[in-house]
């Protein structure tokens, strides 16, 4: 139904209208991973889009948007804009960001920010939610898996890892994952991270040290994971200017911790389009991009038409 609405929006010209109306705002896109078109282990994983989808989306952005850096949208823009602006971001720090997304970004000369979970770099480990996906694909529906993951996020970080590795995976008959699965889902190596850091197109930001859910931590622990991630990233990029809280979970007073740590801005997972100088720069909203959007659906999604419609639908449902 949503894709049908997106197609209708595109062909009716509504998306073009909203793109023009939102010309002075900034659409900040949230990606996670980009998989090879030949990969089969990621079938049905919404967070991991295919390389051909990403290339089509980047071609659209290149033509219709001024794709800029996070830092640039924090500065006063006194000159008139001819196109709406867009910022590309990635969360987590998958190796496939380097393998598949980075070459496409270079092809179109588009900048992007990648938020790195520093404790996973060169760890030879997979993120816990990817273990859940790989263990349950074909056994658990998307909605059931998402509900299960939300329950998992209520656990303390160490308890969560122990539960996944020592209870959940054995219950699914999993002792290890295939080499293909590991290669598709593994985090960046230090070598790959350094190559990204060398590029003028890539900005690296913090995504904590171990992807801890901040609402499950004490303030001391929040400060520790933020500071540790900065320590790990500093040799690669110097000042670490940007932050993204894992899953977008944080408490209001955590914003002071982010600011005190030296970050110039932070993004979250609240869906919306950023209007500079009216939003708190430590609560920049984003639009999540997942698998299955055609170029036309993608164009409608990022135009900004969906946000007011979604709010209206939620209001009607609640009534």
CATH number at residue 245: 3.20.20.370
**How many separate domains does the chain show?**
2
Residues 164 and 78 occupy one common structural domain: no
Contact 41, 178 (CB under 8 A): yes
Among 75-79, 115-119, 163-167, 204-208, name the one with the lowest average pLDDT: 75-79
Same domain, 122 and 242: yes
Same domain, 206 and 270: yes
For residue 107, what are its two tokens? 């092809």
Predicted confidence at residue 6, as pLDDT, reads 81
Arithmetic mean of pLDDT over the chain? 92
Residue 213 sits in the same domain as residue 273: yes
Residue 229 in domain: no
Q: Does residue 49 sit in the same domain as residue 148?
A: no
224: exposed, middle or buried (Cβ count in 10 Å: 0-12, 13-18, 19+): middle
Angle between the 14-21 and 295-303 helix axes, to the nearest 10 degrees? 40
Give pTM, 2 decimals. 0.94
Question: Is 144 exposed, middle or buried, given 0-12, 13-18 or 19+ CB atoms closer than 10 A?
Answer: exposed
pLDDT at 185: 98
The predicted pLDDT at position 294 comes to 87
Provide the domain limits for residue 136.
127-176
Both 171 and 266 in one domain: the answer is no
């Amino acid at each position: 139904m949503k894709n049908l609405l997106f197609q209708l929006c595109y062909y009716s010209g509504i998306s073009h209208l909203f793109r023009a109306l939102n010309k002075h705002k900034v659409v900040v896109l949230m990606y996670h991973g980009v998989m090879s078109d030949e990969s089969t282990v990621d079938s049905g994983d919404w967070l991991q889009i295919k390389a051909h989808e990403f290339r089509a989306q980047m071609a659209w952005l290149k033509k219709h948007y001024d794709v800029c850096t996070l830092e640039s949208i924090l500065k006063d823009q006194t000159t008139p804009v001819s196109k709406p602006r867009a910022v590309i971001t990635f969360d987590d720090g998958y190796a496939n960001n380097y393998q598949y997304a980075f070459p496409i970004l270079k092809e179109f000369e588009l900048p992007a920010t990648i938020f790195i979970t520093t404790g996973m770099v060169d760890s030879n480990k997979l993120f816990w939610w990817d273990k859940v996906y790989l263990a349950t694909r074909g056994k658990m529906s998307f909605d059931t898996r998402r509900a299960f993951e939300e329950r998992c996020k209520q656990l303390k970080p160490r308890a969560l890892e122990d539960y996944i590795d020592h209870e959940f995976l054995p219950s699914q008959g999993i002792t290890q994952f295939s080499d293909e699965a590991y290669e598709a889902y593994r985090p960046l190596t230090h070598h790959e991270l350094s190559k990204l850091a060398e590029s003028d197109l890539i900005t690296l930001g913090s995504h904590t040290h171990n992807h801890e859910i901040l609402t499950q931590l004490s303030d001391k622990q929040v400060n520790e994971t933020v500071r540790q991630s900065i320590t790990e990233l500093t040799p690669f990029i110097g000042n670490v200017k940007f932050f993204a809280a894992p899953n977008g979970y944080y408490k209001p007073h955590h914003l002071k911790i982010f600011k005190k740590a030296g970050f110039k801005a932070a993004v979250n997972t609240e869906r919306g389009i950023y209007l500079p100088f009216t939003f708190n720069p430590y609560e920049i909203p984003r639009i999540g991009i997942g698998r299955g959007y055609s170029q036309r659906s993608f164009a409608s999604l990022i135009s900004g038409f969906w946000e007011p419609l979604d709010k209206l639908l939620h209001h009607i449902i609640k009534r």
